[in-house]
Structure 1
Amino acid sequence: MIDVNGIRLHIAEQGDGPLVVLLHGFPESWHSWHHQFGPLAEAGFRVVAPDQRGYGRSDRPEDVGAYSILHLVGDVVGLVQALGEEQAYVVGHDWGAPVAWHTALLRPDLVRAVAGLSVPPPFRGTQAPLAAMDKMFGGRFYWNYFNRPGVADAEFAKDTRTTLRKFFYWGSGDAPHAGDGQQPLVDPERGWLADMQDPDVLPEWFTEDDLDALTESFSKGFTGALNWYRNLDRNWELTAPWHGARVTRPALYIYGDRDVVPAFPGTPELIAKLPGLMPNLWREPLELSGCGHWTQQERPDEVNTALIEFLRAHA
């Protein structure tokens, strides 16, 4: 446990050398990086993965406004400093990716290099994201469902283990619908889990032990994690001073071709343009064939190889 930015964060840590901060996404915990600790530590890095605010054993502020992108970046800045370092490599997956990208955008002095998995670098749009998705999909996009106070919280907490088992199968490259380009829409009256398949057998890369660890990390519910989504429009307002700004630190982007996130409206076009938009993008975006949303867990060897090569190239 470590005091950071006015809260306490739980961290997992391994290795010595230059600091690498690994930021998980939703609905996950530090455990989502368990395949990365050993290889990165053996490659000569100090690896630290927190349970981000609202998750796992870390603090869960009650105020929804305490989960803005500025708070989340502040946690990373505070973590690096609390660990006695002046700079770090910052790597994020899913929601952790926007936190990593924004840390590099807002505090480039602190970031040696930045990598994002699944979610590409941020380019602030011309309208608030929740409002935009509400208009585009009639309120059925999952962000809008998550934005309803207490609704998804109750649905997901009713049977935490089943919720997580369904989520991880639904988002994986193993699911029958993976890669079909369909948007994650929710019937607000029935909830999201009603139409998610509950697999008889977990994918090989996601074991019962993994599910046990994840279930334990959500023993206090999902509200803290969902509060991140409830700040999407506020984040858009808060980042107005950086409209048009680009991440200038050395950057790596990795995604799966069966991941639903890179198929979000406008995202395929953005990914195609990234080499021209990112002045220090390291090589082309790395697309992993057959990989779903849980990038570093579904394809740990390929992700580890790419990360180690990227980090060493920018030592």
Structure 2
Amino acid sequence: PDLRGYGDTEKPLEVEAYDVLTLASDLVALVNALGEEHAILVGHDWGSMLAATASLLRPDMFRALALLSVPFMPRRRIRPAAQFHTLTQERHFYQDYFQPIGRIESEVEADMHRAMLGILYTGSAACREHPEHRRKGFITFEKSTRFVDNLAIPESLPSWLTNEDLETFVDQFSRGGFAGPINWYRNIDRNWTLTAFLDGARIQQPTMFAAGESDGVIRMAKMEYETLEINVPKLWKKTLIRDAGHWLQQEQPHETSQLLIEFLQQPQVISQLS
């Protein structure tokens, strides 16, 4: 489904309309609207973080999880705003860069086609393997530059990205804008405050994790990746997929789908649905 702020969904103007508890409520409402009692969540990046939170809040409804790219990230003791202050002493950190309202929106919306191509390509394994493009990156970047200045732009589309797919993204974001999706980032610190009751919580449902070998998130969340078995006691498997970056379900769709199918066929997952 398109989540709040994306695609054809409603896009409230208030930043506070995108906190993680509200987003989790949207998932519950979706399951109820479909007339179902429970569901398995498959989430990528922000979707993974949302799926993890929803599973902690409603284990009765969300019986199993597949987390892609972003491993389960237990609530840290240091609030994100304090981490941003430490991380941004010398360089921009993209999550902090997204906080001022309007800055990143104006950058990407000035040339949506270039921005979408650059975001997709720069996060991929193809970019990391390119001798010149691999120097580009937007997780951290020089303070004298903008976010969009640090996007690598390929001369031709990578094999996993069709022009039709790219134009679909461009069309959706051109009509809806980036404010809604970026507001997810603007709730990072607020989410930390709202979820104090989840401090120390572990995911108890059957769970799988997969990411691309070249995904920068794995380096960012190294500690969370290495401690997945502790924080997710019923972890079925964690897999790094070769020749894939951040967009593993697009870069290596067959391998990603096979992992999901194998996970869904596990007895411990099937038993959760009865």
Instruction: Tell whether the structures are fold-level matches, with TM greater than 0.5.
Output: yes
User: Shift of the alpha carbon at 1:186?
Assistant: 3.4
Query: In structure 2, how many angstroms separate the alpha carbons of the residues matched to 1:149 and 1:188?
Result: 18
Structure 2 CA distance for aligned equivalents of residues 177 and 151 of structure 1: 30
Relative distance call for 1:158 and 1:183 in structure 2 (3 A) is closer
Pairwise CA distance, 1:290: 2.3
User: After superposition, where does 1:56-205 map in structure 2 within 5 Å?
Assistant: 56-138=7-89, 140-176=92-128, 184-187=139-142, 190-205=145-160
Task: Specify the SS of the correspondent of 1:199.
Answer: coil
Q: Is the 8 A contact 1:140 1:188 kept in 2?
A: yes
Partner of 1:22: none
In the alignment, the residues of structure 1 paired with residue 74 and residue 201 of structure 2 have an alpha-carbon distance, to the nearest angstrom, of: 8
What stretches of structure 2 of length at least 5 have no aligned partner? none
Identity of aligned residues (%): 39
Q: What residue identity is the alignment partner of 2:106?
A: A
Aligned in 2, Cα 1:53/1:209: closer, same or farther, shift over 3 Å?
same
Partner of 2:217: 261
Partner of 2:203: 247
Residue aligned with 1:175, SS: helix
Aligned to 2:242: 289
- Name the stretch that deviates more: 188-197 or 53-62: 188-197
Distance in 2 between residues matched to 1:261 and 1:274, nearest whole Å = 14
CA distance 1:78–1:189, shift in 2 (3 Å): farther
Alpha-carbon distance in structure 2 between the residues aligned to 1:312 and 1:177: 34
Q: Secondary structure at the match of 1:114?
A: strand
Residue aligned with 1:253, SS: strand
Determine whether 1:232 maps to 2:179.
no
Distance 1:197 1:137 in 2: 22
Displacement of 1:187 in angstroms is 4.0
Superposed displacement of residue 183, structure 1: 7.4
Please give the TM-score of this superposition, normalised by the length of structure 1.
Answer: 0.80
Instruction: Please state how far the C-alpha of 1:52 moved relative to its aligned partner.
Output: 0.8
SS in 2 for 1:54: coil
Preserved CA contact (<8 Å) 1:250 1:280: yes
- Residue of 224, 238, 254 corresponding to 1:301: 254
Q: Larger relative contact order (C-alpha < 8 A, sep ≥ 6)?
A: 2
State the distance in 2 between where 1:271 and 1:259 align: 12
TM-score by length of 2: 0.91
Give ranges in structure 1 of 5+ residues lacking alignment.
Answer: 1-49
Aligned position for 2:173: 218
State the shift of 1:215 in Å: 0.6
Amino acid at match of 1:295: L
CA contact (8 A) 1:102 1:122 kept: no
Give the secondary-structure state (helix, strand or coil) at the position aligned to 1:131: helix
Q: Deviations over 1:242-295 (max 9, x none)?
A: 10001111111101110011111xx21221221233211013x11112210001
Aligned residues: 263
Structure 1 ranges of 4+ moved more than 6 A: 177-180
Displacement of 1:222? 0.5
